[in-house]
Amino acid sequence: MKPSHIEHIGIAVNDLDESIKYYQNVLGLECYNIEEVKDQKVKTAFFKVGDTKIELLESTDPEGPIGKFVEKKGEGIHHIAFAVNNIEEKLRHAEENGVRLIDSVPRKGAEGLNIAFLHPKSTFGVLTELCEDNNK
Ligand code: ZN
C-alpha cells in the first residue's frame, strides 16, 4: 500500500475550545481551520506538525461516532490517517487481504479529502483511515 506519510491523527475531545488552548498555548501549534462535518456529527480543529496534522474531534451529537467513542473510552486518540494515492485501489487491496472495510467506497471528509475507514477489528485495534488529496 505504501502511504506517503501520516496525513493526520484524529483525537477525540470533550471540549474543542479547551483542547485548542492546550495545543496552541502549551505545544505552540497554530489552529488553521475549524470545520463542522455534519454527516460525521463532529466539529474539527486542525493543526500542522510538519507534513502531519492533528485533527481534534468534538462530537455534536451523543449518538454520532465520536459521541459513542468518548462515552465508551473517554477522550484520546481515535484514529490514524495515512495519505495514499488511488484510494479505491488501496481499498480493494485491503479487502483482498482480508481487512474489513467500514467504507467500501470513499467519501468526502474534512478539508475535501476522499477518505475511507478500515475496521479496527481487522487492523490490530487501530481505527485506520485512508486519505486521498485530489486537490494537490
Ligand atoms: Zn480523520
pLDDT at site 20: 98
pTM here? 0.92
Instruction: Return the C-alpha cell found at 71.
Output: 462515552
Give the integer Cα–Cα distance in Å for 56 and 130. 17
* CA distances to 27, 84, 121, 131 from 93, in Å: 37, 12, 17, 15
Q: Does domain 5-132 have CATH number 3.40.640.10?
A: no
- Mark the residues whose beta carbon lies below 5 A from ion ligand 1: 10, 81, 129
Of 4-13, 34-43, 123-132, minimum mean pLDDT range: 34-43
Q: What share of the chain is helix, strand, coil (3-state, %, to 5)?
A: 30, 40, 30
Calculate how far, in angstroms, residue 120's C-alpha sits from the geometric centre of ligand 1: 14
Average pLDDT of the chain?
95
Whole-number Å distance, alpha carbon 26 to ligand 1 midpoint, is: 23
Whether the predicted pLDDT of 92 surpasses 70: yes
Q: Is the pLDDT of residue 60 over 90?
A: yes
Q: How confident is the model at residue 1 (pLDDT cuts 50, 70, 90)?
A: confident
CB count within 10 Å of CB 119 equals: 14
> Percent of the chain beyond pLDDT 90?
89
Distance 41 CA to ligand 1 centre (A): 13
Beta bridge partners of 45: 34, 56
**Torsion sign, CA atoms 121, 118, 20, 5:** positive
